Structure 1
Amino acid sequence: MSVLLLADHDKGELSPATARLVAAASQLGPVDLLVVAENPDNIAAAAAQIAGVRIVQVVKAAETAESITNSLESLAQRYQSVSASASSVGKDVIPRLAAKLDIQPVTDVVEILGPNRFTRPIYAGNALETLTDPQPKHLLTFRASAFRPAASGNAAPVENLDLSVNSAARFLAAHRTESDTPDLATAQIVIGGGVSVGSAEGFQLIEKLGKTLGAAVGATRAAVDAGYAPNDWQIGQTGKIIAPDLYIAIGISGALQHLAGIQGAKKIFAINTDAEAPLVKIADVALIGDLFEIVPQLIAELEKHGLKR
């Protein structure tokens, strides 16, 4: 069963999530990777190195939801499965494609049990649903954090496609948070701050710990809504779903929406003044106390042991 997979990329570079998506899609059959970008050369070259990719197909077009959807629609008839990441792009594009093809999508897949059997979270991540998709063609989104990345070392051919994918939408501007920290969705260590951090200045302490550990930095929705952290740091049901080896939760009580976003974390380390907080109760290790006393001490100890980055 052949699979068309939409490559995840940003700022002209292939996202680390794409290797995880290829690992997932490869369980269904040979993977053809589609790159839709205005400047696709570097993205396509990186994509061709991922093991399991049969061919990289390139469409040079504006990176709007409409042009991406049109590109997928033009190629969809060749494949039994069309897939993308369960990211903001995938959540925008796959429903559009589903409407055009009159196919019910299967979203947020975290495990593949067979050619048409999948597992996905439901009820805000509190339960897992196993379903069978009887449709002859499958539209899928994969939760990248649920899969280990595919290896590199491949040399897949790159094919430039001449498709008419004109979009009525026009890109105006991008507003970004510049950061040199690892990608939040695929980082091995993530540090999250809650509304208890108190201010945007308080989050500088969280960022300093992140730089010391080489970790990604995230925040709860309450902290984002309060203006303490940017939107793209939000972790949870309505933010980014993470599955790091270690999650350090600082000043986070543990609302259900946030817990839904961190269920894939292998180890949880919580710092909180409330020993009865829901997140503290599920943490593997917890320190009860004032974060503004504990975190500076933690940074100092890490730097003393040579972990400053």
Structure 2
Amino acid sequence: MESKPLATLVIVEHDNQSLSVDTLRALSAASQIQQDGASLPVTALLAGYQCGAVLESLKCVENVSQIIAIDAAEYKHLLAENLSMLVVDVSKDFSHVLAPASTFGKNLMPRVAALLDVGQLSDVVAIEALDTVVRPIYAGNALARVRSNDSTKVMTIRSSAFDPVAVSSSPVVESVFTPDAVFAAEHCEFISQQKIESERPELPAASVVVSGGRGLGSKENFALVEQLADKLGGAIGASRAAVDAGFVSNDLQVGQTGKIVAPQLYIAVGISGAIQHLAGMKDSKVIVAINSDPDAPIFQVADYGLVGDLFEIMPELLEKV
């Protein structure tokens, strides 16, 4: 088996303007990969276009020993088709390659693993040793301890399982390497991106999330969730049933096939609590459930439960908040 230096590479997710909170959490996970009680050196790979602001932010992140920064038009949209080739090229000097288990990471890392001819460790929630991690299976109802013998450990990190790494007020990373490794995406091109703009915080980064489910009955009634979220300065989420019914767009879905969140406060309104939904929010610090069915599964994970008609409870709650 090929012997590699023991070091960790974290792929940076960003929008060419700012770091994603998921990257800060992946960097936190990277610091937990240790040998003899000491963390392996962590290198952050930043590829983008006119992303100087991201680089300056990255220089202030604790626990990063080196930054590899590549600024080229080819990486403006972070297409997996060519970014994966860059990661493979850089990864020859690293034993572990990490990325957030976000849409970005789920798009990129399987391609990286395939090009390296290794397996992928997905949705990692704990790191126990250099070759051993823990990941959820069966919609989070069980945890599997997985050991990898691959020379390169490729893994995606479930952000909700790790706190963000500390960020200094001034630069702390002195080593910045800027190679000329540019790979073009020969067989695909970026056409457009449809992104809903909102003044509310992004779901993964929000400390408060208010989610609505099928019990709200209509898109108009979902306004109750929006009003409560706005009063609490939180983000809006939804169950799959609410998304399928057209109450909100699918980018707000919380669950196994949606966003995985772990805010300080999660309020579930009219959500029964199917396994698929619980997998996406049960790690929240405080869970409040509002449902008319006292036997709804959501109450099994809730810290506080309000049993009653949400159309009576919500107006009263909005008045008192």
Alignment TM-score > 0.5, same fold = yes
Where does residue 71 of structure 1 map in the other structure? 86
Which of 101, 110, 131 lines up with 1:116 in the alignment? Answer: 131
Q: Once the two structures are superposed, what CA deviation does each residue of 1:207-235 show, in whole Å capped at 9, x if it has no partner?
A: 11111111121111111122111121110
Which of 41, 50, 65 lines up with 1:39 in the alignment? Answer: 50
Where does residue 99 of structure 2 map in the other structure? 84
**What SS does the aligned partner of 1:202 have?**
coil
Where does residue 210 of structure 2 map in the other structure? 191
TM-score normalised per structure 1:
0.93
Q: Distance in 2 between matches of 1:77 and 1:279?
A: 46
User: What are the residue-to-residue correspondences of 1:121-136 with 2, within 5 Å?
Assistant: 121-136=136-151
Alpha carbons 2:16, 2:54 under 8 Å: kept = no
Where does residue 277 of structure 1 map in the other structure? 296
Q: Distance in 2 between matches of 1:216 and 1:10?
A: 20
**What SS does the aligned partner of 1:292 have?**
helix
Q: Once the two structures are superposed, what CA deviation does each residue of 1:171-198 show, in whole Å capped at 9, x if it has no partner?
A: 1111111112222123222111102222
Alpha carbons 1:177, 1:230 under 8 Å: kept = no
Where does residue 166 of structure 1 map in the other structure? 184
Q: Which amino acid aligns with 1:53?
A: V
Q: Which amino acid aligns with 2:290?
A: I
**What SS does the aligned partner of 1:149 have?**
coil
Report the alpha carbon displacement of residue 11 of structure 1 after superposing the two structures with TM.
Answer: 6.1
Where does residue 158 of structure 2 map in the other structure? 143
Alpha carbons 1:31, 1:52 under 8 Å: kept = yes
Q: 1:262 aligned to 2:262?
A: no
Where does residue 305 of structure 1 map in the other structure? none
RMSD of Structure 2 on Structure 1 (CA)? 1.5
Q: Distance in 2 between matches of 1:82 and 1:115?
A: 12
Alpha carbons 2:9, 2:97 under 8 Å: kept = yes
Q: Which amino acid aligns with 1:198?
A: G
Q: Distance in 2 between matches of 1:282 and 1:50?
A: 34
User: Percent of aligned pairs with the same residue?
Assistant: 41
**What SS does the aligned partner of 2:279 have?**
helix
Q: 1:221 aligned to 2:240?
A: yes
Report the alpha carbon displacement of residue 99 of structure 1 after superposing the two structures with TM.
Answer: 0.9
Q: Distance in 2 between matches of 1:174 and 1:42?
A: 22
Where does residue 28 of structure 2 map in the other structure? 23
Q: Which amino acid aligns with 1:109?
A: V
Q: Which amino acid aligns with 1:165?
A: F
Report the alpha carbon displacement of residue 91 of structure 1 after superposing the two structures with TM.
Answer: 0.9
**What SS does the aligned partner of 1:196 have?**
helix
Q: 1:48 aligned to 2:59?
A: yes
Report the alpha carbon displacement of residue 72 of structure 1 after superposing the two structures with TM.
Answer: 0.4
How many residues were matched structurally?
302
Q: Once the two structures are superposed, what CA deviation does each residue of 1:55-84 show, in whole Å capped at 9, x if it has no partner?
A: 222222232111221110110101111110
Question: Which structure 1 segments of 5+ residues have no match?
Answer: 303-309
Q: Once the two structures are superposed, what CA deviation does each residue of 1:123-168 show, in whole Å capped at 9, x if it has no partner?
A: 1100011121122211011111101111111421433331121003
Q: Distance in 2 between matches of 1:44 and 1:204?
A: 39
**What SS does the aligned partner of 2:204 have?**
coil
Q: Distance in 1 between matches of 2:221 and 2:119?
A: 45
Worse overlay, 55-64 or 101-110: 55-64
**What SS does the aligned partner of 1:53 have?**
coil
Q: Which amino acid aligns with 1:265?
A: S
Alpha carbons 1:40, 1:58 under 8 Å: kept = no
Q: Distance in 1 between matches of 2:29 and 2:82?
A: 25
Alpha carbons 2:134, 2:145 under 8 Å: kept = yes
Worse overlay, 259-268 or 245-254: 259-268
Report the alpha carbon displacement of residue 292 of structure 1 after superposing the two structures with TM.
Answer: 2.3
Report the alpha carbon displacement of residue 299 of structure 1 after superposing the two structures with TM.
Answer: 1.6
Q: Distance in 1 between matches of 2:318 and 2:283?
A: 25
Question: Which structure 2 segments of 5+ residues have no match?
Answer: 1-5, 34-39
Q: 1:9 aligned to 2:14?
A: yes
Q: Distance in 2 between matches of 1:79 and 1:138?
A: 9
Q: Which amino acid aligns with 2:296?
A: A
